[in-house]
Structure 1
């Protein structure tokens, strides 16, 4: 691993941690349900990015498969929450 990458990975993880804390604040305090859904979607996105950065640092392909699974679950849950907010029901 190069010297630049060994400094960039902890910096990126720190930035994602700070961003996740700010998003958690919006998730808890969000004035509307739409803000909370968007904050939860951003948390999924941050989880994907953290898993991919850790996969880069460990040089393993298994982490990218985990990131893909998080992506699928995040997309489906965001759709379900959006449908619930719009219609009041998830299953028709």
Structure 2
């Protein structure tokens, strides 16, 4: 193995660890969040962290299918965050 490959492996390990810690911290905020808005933001942060983990998996495995899956999850996460926030604020999703 060469130096570039070793650096890439260490960078992937560090990125997985950082996003894993961020996911755990968002989960803690989801559980103990004092307000509903904090919980909504924690869920949105967890979706963003999950997208990051999926992209890192795609980089680690060297395939492009993970990137397409992350785009689909990003769209679903955005729509679900907006609809949940609208439900909390107005009590109705569809006007």
The two structures have a TM-score, normalised by structure 2, of 0.92
Structure 1 gap ranges (5+)? none
1:57 aligns with 2:60: yes
1:70 aligns with 2:85: no
Between 1:78-87 and 1:39-48, the stretch displaced more is 78-87
The two structures have a TM-score, normalised by structure 1, of 0.95
Shift of 1:82: 1.2
Equivalent-residue separation in structure 2 for 1:55 and 1:29 (angstroms): 32
Q: What is the aligned length?
A: 92
Residue 4 of structure 1 aligns with which residue? 7
Residue 91 of structure 1 aligns with which residue? 94
Shift of 1:20: 0.7
When the two chains are superposed, the root-mean-square deviation of aligned CA atoms in Å is 1.0
Equivalent-residue separation in structure 1 for 2:93 and 2:34 (angstroms): 22
Equivalent-residue separation in structure 2 for 1:89 and 1:31 (angstroms): 23
1:26 aligns with 2:18: no
Residue 49 of structure 2 aligns with which residue? 46
Structure 2 gap ranges (5+)? none
Task: Write out per-residue CA displacement over residues 19-71 of structure 1, whole angstroms, 9 at most, x where no aligned residue.
Answer: 11111000011111100000000000000000001101111010000100110
Equivalent-residue separation in structure 1 for 2:5 and 2:52 (angstroms): 20
